[in-house]
Structure 1
Amino acid sequence: MYNLYKSLIVSILTILLLTACSSKSVEQTDNGKKEINLLFNFATSSLDPNVDTSYVSLRAGITETLVHLNDETLKIEPWLAESWSSKDGQTWTIKLRENITFQNGNPMDGVAVKASLERAMKDSIAIKNALRIESIEADANTLTIKTEVPFPEFPSELVHPNTSIIDITETDFVKKPVGTGPFAVSSFTPGTSVDLIRYDEYWDGAAKLEKARFSFNEDANARSLALESGGADVVFRPEVESLENLEAIEGVTVESTSTFRVHQMTMNLQRKPLQNINVRKAMDALINRESIVDTILRGHAEVATGPFPSSFTFAPDYLEKQTGIEVAREFLRKAGYEEVAGVMKKDGEPLELTLLTYSARADLPLIAQVFQSDAGQLGINVIIQQIEIPEEYMAANRDWDLTTYSNLTAPRGDAGYYLNATYHPNGALNFSGADDDKLTSMIDKLNTTVGQQERSDIAEKIASYVDEQVYNSFILHPNTLVAYNSDKVKNWVTSRSEYYMLTNELDVY
């Protein structure tokens, strides 16, 4: 009875909140200004583009990077940089576009970009490791960048949102970064929303919208309800269960787009049980991928056999694996475990695992619960622990065994980003703690290799090796789900990279 009353109270509060949001939306529309509200699934407490892992500043059109990813061709193209070239893959000449200003009117020139990149490397060890820059020289609108080693794919690293160019003379990076994008920050409420106003002098043509709000809610059901009530105009990753209801609403469009993302089970190799490859194989065998895709994602995903979607040339043809409870039991037997009175033990010690998950991606906690149930059938006690910001928690703590985690694996159409970030000892996303000399050597070879086919061949070998070692388990490639009011919103494009959202072309009818 208590739970029933609690549910009713939550429902009433939700309705009141959404009604208030709806009223505000109508009021804003009535004032004649062109504006929209985009509701995102990750909250952020900082707009600092060089360290924020939610990439809000880029997604909200506040900042831009030197290099842009073309979602159609999966090739990089000029953005703030007009061109780049290198004779040896180590010394790079980057020509910046001319006559671009930051949102405070200051020029975006070589000196400003140099200072911005240096600040990014100083404040983010991940960016420092990714860019591997030894020196930067600025002369008017030309940068000369030397990397620590020959690095043929260096320009593709400049797509990363954390390399966004900002005016570092404006020092309120957390609340009001000043970039070159079509929208400037009007106000920011950490964890709630950022309000934006059009920057009229935007170099690629002033935005069609006069204002925009980029708001946050990590509850997928609340995001869906916000679109239904009119409290939001565009909703990123609405609740899967609500899609049929949303599609039935006149004027609402739901898009399900394949992306470069993978849901994976990250394994902490510093934990003793998972140092045994047969235990890792057992964990992998327990994952019922087809069932998860059909029931939790309702078919809006592709079963993953590795980190990269099968459409990429560097995705290997994996051997078919045996999966299921009995297969997992046999792997555990090889690892020295036996089931005693319904409990999986080794040397008298029960097998207990701490599994991290987070609610910003609503399907991940559900995957964790399914895994917990299946592992329980083998006598394995899986303790689920909810966290808020997975990257921060996994980097700072080693008291966990597994994490249901979601990661972009090829956002630049190249395997180098994911393999470096996830499996190189210096990788920013190497939460598993992988430190394998053979694997590191292969990645280092990839980093100095020129030519797409040659790089694909090496990347394929690395992906196969990672699969053999079961350093992580790959569950599925989820589609990007976006629902929006197509009676109001014009020119919305669902980006496969998930980087580009509020653009100068976005408009309202």
Structure 2
Amino acid sequence: MKWKKLLALALGLCLSAGALAGCGNDTAGKGSGEKVLTIGDTTFNSSNEEPDINPHNSYAGWACIRYGVGETLIKYSDNMEIQPWLADKWENVDPLTWKFTLRDDVTFSSGRKMDAAAVKQCFEHLIANNKRAAQDLKIASMEANGQELIIRTKEPKPALLNYLGDPYGCIIDVDAGFDKGLVAGTGPYIATDMKTDDHLVLKKNDKYWGGTPKLDKITIRTITDGNTLANALQSGEVQAAYGMAYESYPLFRNDKYTISQISTSRCFFGKMNFDADSVCADPAVRQAISMGIDKENFVTKLLDGNGFPANGVFPEGPAFGGDKVKAEKFDPEGAKKVLEAAGWVDKDGDGIREKNGKKLVVKWLTYPSRQELPLLAESAQATLKDIGIQVEVNSTADHNQVIKDSKAWDVYAMANVQAPTGDPEYWFTVFATSTATKNQGKYHNAKLDELEAKMSQEFDPAKRAQLALEMQQVILDDHAFVFCSFLKMSMIAKANVKNYTSHACDYYQITADLDVE
């Protein structure tokens, strides 16, 4: 497989210049004396719920913060510790009240001063337009006085600081509007032009509070095909890349390029469909799927070692303890016994089990913009076939629409940063609790909901970590999800591109220090 991939890249190299004409190249801007950079990105698209850079729109805040347009009150270190950013300091006055002191030297790219009134207005618009943010933050009221913002929550929110660092928390000037999905933020770059699923153009913010950005212009090109992205970087049509297929990495392991890599909580995992019409409504089928996926082989051969097998929801570590929970191991023979005991047998000898006249066919939904998700589907298809399960793969950019039809899928495999706020509560309230915003599989466990209710009001970090362990075990015992691998996230650039750096939270790609020598 790998040699075919490299051959395709070599043959495709001569075609990339034509395919990406107008995308920018190494010589762009040289005649004008400007410093410019073009970055290819497989993930900036509507399929990933990033149709624009408005942080109040779905998950578009990821593009806003990654591309240096927006900033949040707090940020995360690479140890996922909370640090000041647009907020100088804060105080948890009582369980319901938080007082923030904002920086006094920040101006939006619109020219408006960032004060508490502007931040209050931003958050009011956010919670009115983003269901996930409203559910996370639970803001009851806010009070603005100069550079002091007081937030009062409807209930105790121990993780409020963590949530405020989520990309949806980018502080933008609401008065400047949202024309064509563009916003006025506080970051080092200003968005001037955008076309969904195609490109974003940025110019430097000369009045950036953090110092003058080193580049004059940056273009983000949406390139969802891994071969095309690799070819574009080799040819110079782009000078940096995010989301490169791991099997292309050998092409860039030389002194012409730099690779910035860091371990993250981004995980490839599958959620099961509990709808009554789904084969995954059967606990035995869910357990067999969990036992029938070869995580080690996937990481070693298909990810080329750029990750590590997943056990629970989170990686190992004191805050999350993914190494301390008990998950199913790869056990094909054990999976066969589970299915046999549940009445799934191959009576007609075609290799696929059936029960009550129904074939054991699993509809596997995934998408191609994360380059290895289709490979995971192929791997699961092969190993599950060995235990008598037929897997029908639907890898489509239209996955966000397909998943709305509960009869169109049984397993939905996706990539997600499991702890982007540095706190475990985020994942459960997005994917697993009864009211989770992305619980399309209709999973429900009363004990999990009870544990989440406790976590939502628990301020002690050690107790939160213990609750996270218990909550992981609940969903693992139900085989409601199967966690396959955590990823090492990487960004690749020409050797003359400086400070294009990966971070554990998977944000902060474009900063004022990003440069081309």
For the 8 Å contact 2:25–2:38, the answer to whether it is kept is no
1:130 alignment partner in structure 2: 136
**Structure 2: which amino acid aligns with 1:254?**
I
For the 8 Å contact 1:129–1:427, the answer to whether it is kept is no
**Structure 2: which amino acid aligns with 1:387?**
T
Q: Percent identity?
A: 26
For the 8 Å contact 1:256–1:300, the answer to whether it is kept is no
C-alpha change, 1:346 and 1:173, in structure 2 (3 Å) is farther
Of the three residues 253, 269, 274, the one matched with 2:258 is 253
1:380 alignment partner in structure 2: 389
For the 8 Å contact 1:18–1:229, the answer to whether it is kept is no
Q: How does 1:156-235 map to 2 (within 5 A)?
A: 156-235=162-241
Distance in structure 2 (CA, Å) of the matches to 1:188 and 1:147: 36
Distance in structure 1 (CA, Å) of the matches to 2:499 and 2:411: 40
Of the three residues 407, 416, 419, the one matched with 1:410 is 419
C-alpha change, 1:148 and 1:454, in structure 2 (3 Å) is same
1:286 alignment partner in structure 2: 292
Distance in structure 1 (CA, Å) of the matches to 2:370 and 2:403: 17
User: Does 2:310 match 1:304?
Assistant: yes
User: Does 2:445 match 1:444?
Assistant: no
TM-score, normalization by structure 2: 0.91
User: Does 2:467 match 1:458?
Assistant: yes
For the 8 Å contact 1:358–1:365, the answer to whether it is kept is yes
Distance in structure 1 (CA, Å) of the matches to 2:185 and 2:23: 31
**Structure 1: which amino acid aligns with 2:93?**
K
C-alpha change, 1:388 and 1:220, in structure 2 (3 Å) is same
Q: What is the CA RMSD across the aligned residues, in angstroms?
A: 2.3
1:499 alignment partner in structure 2: 507
For the 8 Å contact 2:98–2:152, the answer to whether it is kept is yes
Deviations 1:452-481 (A, max 9, x none): 212111111111222111110000001112
Distance in structure 2 (CA, Å) of the matches to 1:261 and 1:173: 32
2:65 alignment partner in structure 1: 58
1:85 alignment partner in structure 2: 91
**Cα shift at 1:395:** 5.0
**Structure 2: which amino acid aligns with 1:26?**
T
Q: How does 1:414-493 map to 2 (within 5 A)?
A: 414-486=423-495, 488-493=496-501
**Structure 1: which amino acid aligns with 2:194?**
F
Give the gaps of 5 or more residues in structure 2. 1-7, 46-50
Give the gaps of 5 or more residues in structure 1. 1-6
Of the three residues 360, 363, 376, the one matched with 1:367 is 376
TM-score, normalization by structure 1: 0.93
Distance in structure 2 (CA, Å) of the matches to 1:234 and 1:199: 21
Segment of structure 1 superposing worse, 85-94 or 118-127: 85-94
C-alpha change, 1:22 and 1:98, in structure 2 (3 Å) is closer
Of the three residues 336, 340, 349, the one matched with 2:343 is 336
1:42 alignment partner in structure 2: 43
1:270 alignment partner in structure 2: 275
For the 8 Å contact 1:50–1:161, the answer to whether it is kept is no
**Cα shift at 1:51:** 1.8
Aligned length, in residue pairs: 500
1:28 alignment partner in structure 2: 29
C-alpha change, 1:13 and 1:107, in structure 2 (3 Å) is same
C-alpha change, 1:313 and 1:66, in structure 2 (3 Å) is closer
Deviations 1:257-314 (A, max 9, x none): 2111111011112244222322111010110001101111011110111111123442
